[in-house]
Amino acid sequence: MKRSAFTMLELVFVIIVIGILAVLAMPNFNRHPLQEAAEQVASHIRYTQHLAMVNDKYNPKEPIWFRENWQIEFTSTASNVWYKIYADTDHNGNCDVINNEAATDPLNNVTLDGNSDITDLKKRYDIRSVTFSSSCSGRNNNSGGLSTGGTGKELSFDSLGRPYIYITSATPLISNIYTYLLTTDCIITLSHQTQGNATITVRPESGYVSVAY
């Protein structure tokens, strides 16, 4: 004779399994804004590298053609923390939306010119500051070379995905792009008032990006 009903033990087992699956499927409502900010910035650094690799800007007739390479630039002041992704095609050191220099976020079609809430790290995630390690705080000195310890918070990439640390807002005095090649790890630190710091490391040559908390 075939059994036509579940036993009490089987019903309890099914209820327990359903309960476990429900807990695993339940969304996590505990936000971690520092982690969210770090993951977003790391993702956009990778996106900047991707744009550079699929859009080679090399121009043999232009000595400082590399100023047009895709770059991500951060601004961190006492009242504002944000960034933008652009290619400085007119060499004026600015991200000009009218010239379509800014990148567009492929997920939501938002222009990444620094004016959207997406790139406003203080407003969206309460990030209080962004600092670059001395190895990638590039600035041009008076003799045309590159010194460290400056205020530059910018990374650019070439068509091979290699990272550079020249600053487009100041005209590079050396036309050799390799002068500005990143040679040691660039460590970007995001600071949150209550959750501490997160570090984003960009490796030289490969441009590999990693995040640590």
More confident residue, 72 or 13: 72
Alpha helices, DSSP H, located in 84-174: 121-125
Q: Is the pLDDT of residue 172 over 60?
A: no
The rounded mean pLDDT for the chain is 84
In angstroms, rounded to a whole number, what is the distance separating the alpha carbons of residues 172 and 82? 24
Percent of the chain clearing pLDDT 70 (strictly above):
83
Range scoring the smallest mean pLDDT among 29-33, 107-111, 163-167: 29-33
Query: In sequence order, which residues have a C-beta less than 8 Å from that of residue 188 and are 6 or more positions away?
Result: 41, 74, 130, 131, 132, 133, 199, 200, 201, 202
Q: Is the pLDDT of residue 18 over 70?
A: yes
Q: What's the whole-model pTM score?
A: 0.81
The confidence band for 171, taking pLDDT boundaries of 50, 70 and 90, is: low
Q: What does the pLDDT average to over 34-46?
A: 96
* 12 within domain boundaries: no
* 84 within domain boundaries: yes
Q: Is the pLDDT of residue 97 over 80?
A: no
Of 166, 85, 82, nearest to 129 (Cα)?
Answer: 82
CATH code: domain of residue 201: 3.55.40.10
Amino acid 204: pLDDT? 96
Count up the domains in the chain and report the number.
Answer: 1
Query: In sequence order, which residues have a C-beta less than 8 Å from that of residue 168 and are 6 or more positions away?
Result: 67, 71, 73, 88, 91, 93, 154, 156
More confident residue, 5 or 193: 193
Question: What is the amino acid identity at position 67?
Answer: R
Amino acid 144: pLDDT? 45
The confidence band for 42, taking pLDDT boundaries of 50, 70 and 90, is: very high
Of 85, 77, 120, 90, nearest to 103 (Cα)?
Answer: 85
Phi/psi at 179 (5° precision): -60, -30
Amino acid 187: pLDDT? 96
* 125 within domain boundaries: yes
In Å, how far are 51, 86, 88, 94, 172 from 100, measured between CA atoms? 14, 9, 10, 12, 23
Other CB atoms within a 10 A radius of the CB of residue 101 amount to 20
* 24 within domain boundaries: no
* 21 within domain boundaries: no
What is the span of the domain harbouring residue 116?
31-212
Angle, CA 130 vertex, CA 202 and CA 146 arms, to 5°: 60
DSSP string across 69-105: SEEEEEEE-SS-EEEEEEE-TT-SSS--GGGT-B-B-
Q: Is the pLDDT of residue 8 over 80?
A: no
